[in-house]
Structures are given as C-alpha cells and as structure tokens.
C-alpha cells in the first residue's frame, strides 16, 4: 500500500489508509497465549517463548488482514506482560505493521506529567506508531506531548466497559457529564492540530456500547476522529457505531479485536483464512453503515 | 533490612519499611540521560547504552539511599523509553531494590479494561513490585486487577500538576469535585482490602501541591495511604504535606525524585554522597512534620 505523497499529518495518513481499504475499520492485536492457534502455542513457560509466540501470531494476523483493513491497534499490555522479551516482540510487530503499510495505533492508555509523558511519547515514536491512546485524568499534561513530532493520539473519553460509568457518567454542576467535559478538553487541545482532512491529530476513544453518549460526544468534537472499541465480542453492533460517524459518513475508525483474532473455524480451515474471513465480514458490516462499498473480498 | 514475619499485606509491608527507616518517605527513580553524573553518561546513542547507564545510575541511587528511606518509586516511562533494553533495565532495578529491602512502587499509571489490566498487573508482579500506580478513568476495571495476588495499588486521585485541575477540580452536581468522587470510589474499592495496619492495599496519589484538597480527601479516604508526589522540585513543602497525614501522623508516604537524584554537590563530593545527603535532609524534613525522630544520619 502506498500513501499519498502529500500526507504527513497522522490523521490524513489514517484516513487515506481507511479509504484505500474501503472501510473505516481497524483490527486490534490483543494476543493472549491461551487462545493462540495450536501450532503457535509456546512449548515452555519462559517469557522468551511466550514473546516469540505472540510475535509470530501477531505477524500472521497482519499478513492475513493486509489489504482488508488499513489500520491496526496494538494492545501494549499483551506484550508488556512478557518483560524485555515482550517489549522486543512489540517493537517487531509494530515495525512489521508499518512495513506492510498499516497505520499503527499503539493502545497504551498512557499519561503522566512533564517529562514522563514525553518519555512515553518517545517510546511510541520509537515503535513508529502514528497514534498512541492516552488517559485524560492528568489533563493536558498527559495528552499534549503525544501530539508533538507529527504524532497523533486518541484520548479516552467514553470507554466501552460498564465500570467506566462510575466516573465518566457523573453529572457536573454545569450540566455536562465528566465524559462531555473531557470531550470539550479534547476539542480544545485538538483545535491546534487539524490536518488537510479537516480532522485533528487528537482523536477520542468512544466505545461502541455507548450509543446515546456517542451522539452527544460527536457534536462536541466535530474535528475528532473517534476510535471505537467494543465492536463484536464486547456487544457493540454496526447499528451502534453509526452514531460515532459524522453525517457525512466520516470521522470514526471502528476496532474489533477478539472477534477477528479468534474466529470460529470451518472444518479444515487455517487460522489465517478464518481471520481473513472475519476481517472481511467486519469490514463489510461497517462499510455498509457508512456507505455502499465495493467488496472485492474473497 | 528484615520485615516482620507476619506482614504479607502490601500496605503492612510498606508501613513496616517506613517505620524502620524512621520517616514516611520514598525516593523516586526518574533517571534521565541528560542529568546523569558525568562518569555514567552513555558513550553512544543506542538504547542498550542508554539502558545500561540508567540501570547503573538507578542502582547507585538505591545503594546511596539504603538505610535512609524504606521505599522507592520507579518511574516506568524513564525505562520504557529505551525499548526492550529499557524493560530489561527496569526489571534489573526493581529486583535490586527488592533485594536491598526496599518496598517498590511501580509508577506506571496504567489502566485498561478486562484482561488487559490483568496483563498490566502481571507485568508489575513479574517486576516483584508491591504497588502499581493506576488511573481511575476506566473505573473499577482499571484498578481492581492490581489488587489481586497480594499486590497493592495507588490510584490517581489528585495529581500535583496544574493541568490536572482541568478535570479533577470540576464540580459535580452533587457538590463533590471529580477528585472527591474518585476518592469515594477508591474508598469503596479499598474497603475489601484492609490489612492489619488498618490501611487498605488500595491507596491514593494526592499531590503535595494541593493542600486544601488534601484535607478533604483525607477525610473521604481514612483507610487509604496517600502517595504524595510534588515535594521539592515541584513546589510542595513539608508544611504542605501535613494535610496528607491522618491526625495520628500515619497514612502517607511522601515522594521526592529530582531533588534527591540531582542534588547540588559540594566541591569534590561524589554524586552518591550528595544523593545520600539529600535523602537524609528530605527524610528529616518529613519526619519533623509527623513526629520527632532520632536522626542517626551522617
């Protein structure tokens, strides 16, 4: 996949990649040992064997979904769990993803203050990831460093899990919810980083399971790309994600992880073929939400 | 340093360690290349050289402050920046800290949902850290896994930076601030994890620079240990931290990082001696806040 020569803004690159793939979807790499296909399961319990196994599986997934999706979201925790070997696997997977033309979202949910956030942003740059997910609890300090050096970020605004409500749904004295206040912060911080596409390099994580909220958040962050987790296994449907898009059918990238990585396999089907098939179905379901698509798959 | 044989609850271990050291303080390991003592500066720009340098410096700090402070807070970002080599350095530093008898707080500010938080908690366990710092934005899902397997955690409640106010100071419709709502969540989640000391294994990060808030938060979280950053370089004073302690002089551990790691050196003084001296001063300043202490230092 080649990118348009003019695009260097991370969101322009992302939108280009999604357009080429024909659907605003991304596949989440959340590899866990217990669910690896039998041939890839590690033979012993060392971190090195585990890291090799998840690296091999992740790269197999990348090759399986190449040409079907334009972006991948790499879950830091799955690699970090295996220490230095896991970090080496993460580096290898991110580089292979970039080599294959994917836009890479490093799903790290990091944030700190001062120079520590800059360190995290540098770590993400070293992985050659265009985007990092970050947490808004520390305010601008935990977000802005991720937008330096041409990188982009997605700040957590409304997460797909139930217990996120404990904080994100609380009503403020001014009538907003906490999530809406964070959305306003994201919109304000992102206003300085808008690319040729009209979208900012600071986007927002808005779960597919929070449809009513998504409508309101969409209105508060017109220039933010929504990264939408929770599709598939977590219960979000194609209909649920509609609210995350603007009326012009732009402005969101929908992620699926487990439903793609660990699909049901027809008898004799290779895991790679099952993954490709699941990715095509996912791509087509989401494409059908936003616009008619030519589906040249399979 | 030996621990009392009965203590296995992480907060009991922490309080034991602070008591033995004679002051409720911890030293933050936030090593950055630019500020390393001349002999330890890396000779080239590879991650390996950088990681060796920060590992060597971190271990030198551990030996310098041994016997003066009971706990160390290890800043993940400083190591993570250097990829797999940085992760190996982090592992080495945490293990050396434990070997030397320190209680280790892994300052990672992690959180995610579901199995991803469990992965992060497993990564922290693999480092043999007793505590991990975590972010509350995802609710209980981002906190509770860090309390499994006998580990403890400190959830961000009120951070020491100015831009944290953008979210944490917002007024809720019910009269609380966002930080107070998080404090109530921390108190509720922590109630299930109270040790022999009367304190929970779920503590709270409350910055030394937020004195007025600390008074209110202290009342809302009577069983939480406060991890108090911001002392020294960030502007918090001994007087400011008083509000983080309960009336009985218990319930907080005060952290200093840069003011200890990079002290002014008297002519001809080794960096190790300067660090030890800075740690002693810090220890004594904070001890003077909570109770008269025998200062056998130096």
Tens place of pLDDT per residue across chain A (298 aa): 444 555 799 999 999 999 999 999 999 999 999 999 999 999 999 999 999 999 999 999 999 999 999 999 999 999 999 999 999 999 999 999 999 999 999 999 999 998 999 999 999 999 999 999 999 999 999 999 999 999 999 999 999 899 999 999 999 999 999 999 999 999 999 999 999 999 999 999 999 888 899 999 999 999 999 999 988 777 788 878 999 999 888 999 999 999 999 999 999 999 999 999 999 999 999 999 886 433 333 3
What is the reported pTM? 0.95
Chain A residue with CA closest to B161: the answer is: A113
**Helical pair B115-126 and A83-99, crossing angle rounded to 10 deg:** 130
Q: How many helices (H) and strands (E) does chain A have?
A: 11, 8
SS3 B168: helix
Contacting residues for A188 by C-beta, under 8 A, at least 6 apart = none
Contact B181 A159 (CB under 8 A): no
Which pLDDT band holds residue B297 (cuts at 50, 70, 90)?
Answer: very low
CATH of the domain at B47: 3.20.20.70
Query: Nearest Cα to B230, choosing from B213, B247, B248?
Result: B213
pLDDT in the model for residue A6: 57
Q: Which of B119, B160, B171 sits opposite A81 (nearest CB)?
A: B119
CA distance linking residue A275 with residue A278, whole number of Å: 5
Residue ranges making up the domain that contains A107: 10-290
**Mean pLDDT, range B146-167, rounded to an integer:** 95
Q: How far apart are CA A238 and CA A259, in angstroms?
A: 14
CB contacts, 8 Å: A116 with chain B? 30, 75, 77-78
CB pair distance less than 8 Å for A167 and B178: yes
CB A25 within 8 A of CB A254: yes
Q: CA-based diameter of chain B, in Å? A: 59
Is B223 among the domain residues? yes
Collapsing DSSP states into helix, strand and coil, what is residue A152? strand
Please say if B210 is a catalytic residue.
Answer: no
Contact B101, B68 (CB under 8 A): no
Taking chain A, what is the end-to-end CA distance rounded to the nearest angstrom?
Answer: 18
CA B18 to chain A, closest CA, distance in angstroms equals 26
Residue B245 near residue B18, CB atoms below 8 Å:
no
Asked whether the beta carbons of B74 and B29 are under 8 A apart, the reply is: yes
* pLDDT attached to residue A221: 98
Strands in A207-272 per DSSP E: 226-228, 252-256
Q: Is A298 within the bounds of a domain?
A: no
Q: Which of B19, B41, B109, B210 is catalytic?
A: B109
**Residue B295 in domain:** no
Tokens 């992965």 belong to B119
Region B71-86: mean pLDDT is: 98
Give the nearest partner residue to A170 out of B85, B141, B181, using CB atoms.
B181
Measure the N-to-C terminal CA separation of chain B; round to a whole number of Å. 18
**Residue A190 falls inside a structural domain:** yes
- With CB atoms and an 8 Å threshold, state whether B138 touches A160: no
The mean pLDDT of B123-136, rounded to a whole number, is: 97
What's the pLDDT score for residue B238? Answer: 80
Per-residue pLDDT at B232: 80
d(CA A258, CA A272): 14
DSSP state of A171: B
Among candidates B111, B126, B164 on the partner chain, residue whose Cβ is nearest the Cβ of A83:
B126
d(CA B264, CA B127): 32
Query: To the nearest whole angstrom, how far is the Cα of B245 from the nearest Cα of chain A?
Result: 23
Task: Sort out which chain B residues have CB atoms less than 8 A from A135's CB and list them.
Answer: 109, 111, 135, 137
State how many domains chain B has: 1
Residue A184: inside a domain: yes
The tens digit of pLDDT for each residue in B241-279 reads 999 999 888 999 999 999 999 999 999 999 999 999 999
Please give the pLDDT value at position A291.
Answer: 67
DSSP per position, B225-261: PEEE--BSTTSB-HHHHGGGS-TTS-SEEEEE-HHHH
Q: How much is the pLDDT for A5?
A: 52
| pLDDT for the residue A135 | 98
Is A296 among the domain residues? no
Q: Would the pLDDT of B7 be above 90?
A: no
Q: Exposure string (b/e) for A254-285, b if CB count within 10 Å is 16 or more? A: bbbbbbbbbbeeeeeeebeebbbbbbbbbbbb
DSSP B205: E
Separation CA A110–CA A134 (nearest Å): 5
Residue B291 confidence class, pLDDT cut points 50, 70, 90:
low
Residues B54, B51: Cα–Cα separation, whole Å: 5
Q: How far apart are CA B294 and CA A212, in angstroms?
A: 60
Helix ranges restricted to H, B127-208: 165-168, 178-190
Q: Pull the structure tokens for residue B83.
A: 């990829």
Query: Is residue B193 a contact partner of residue B140, using CB atoms and an 8 Å limit?
Result: no
Comparing CA positions, the residue from A285, A250, A278, A253 lying closest to residue A70 is: A253
Residue B5 forms part of a structural domain: no
Q: Is residue B291 part of a domain?
A: no
Alpha-carbon radius of gyration of chain A: 18
C-beta of residue B15 within 8 angstroms of C-beta of residue B224:
no
Nearest in space to A31 (alpha carbons), one of A67, A56, A65: A56
Using alpha carbons, list the distances in angstroms from residue A190 to A11, A149, A198, B81.
12, 15, 11, 25
């Amino acid at each position: 996949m080649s990118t348009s020569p003019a695009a260097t803004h991370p969101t322009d690159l992302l939108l280009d990649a999604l357009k080429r793939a024909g659907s605003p979807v991304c596949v989440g790499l959340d590899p866990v040992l217990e669910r690896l296909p039998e041939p890839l399961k590690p033979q012993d319990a060392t971190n090195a064997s585990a890291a090799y196994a998840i690296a091999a599986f992740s790269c197999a997934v990348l090759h399986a979904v190449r040409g079907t999706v334009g972006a991948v979201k790499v879950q830091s925790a799955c690699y970090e769990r295996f220490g230095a070997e896991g970090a080496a696997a993460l580096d290898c997977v991110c580089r292979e993803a970039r080599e294959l033309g994917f836009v890479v979202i490093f799903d790290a949910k990091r944030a700190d203050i001062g120079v520590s956030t800059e360190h995290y942003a540098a770590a993400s740059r070293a992985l050659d990831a265009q985007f990092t997910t970050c947490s808004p609890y520390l305010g601008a300090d935990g977000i802005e460093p991720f937008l330096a050096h041409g990188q982009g970020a997605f700040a957590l605004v409304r997460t797909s899990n139930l217990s996120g409500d404990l904080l994100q749904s609380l009503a403020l004295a001014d009538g907003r919810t906490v999530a809406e206040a964070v959305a306003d912060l994201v919109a304000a911080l992102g206003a300085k980083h808008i690319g040729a596409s009209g979208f900012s390099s600071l986007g927002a994580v808005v779960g597919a399971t929070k449809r009513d909220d998504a409508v309101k958040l969409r209105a508060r962050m017109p220039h933010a790309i929504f990264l939408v987790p929770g599709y598939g296994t977590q219960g979000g449907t194609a209909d649920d994600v509609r609210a995350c898009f603007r009326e012009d059918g732009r402005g969101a990238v929908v992620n699926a992880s487990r439903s793609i990585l660990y699909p049901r396999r027809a008898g004799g089907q290779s895991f790679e073929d099952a993954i490709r098939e699941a990715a095509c179905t996912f791509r087509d379901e989401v494409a059908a939400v936003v616009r008619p698509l030519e589906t040249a798959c399979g």
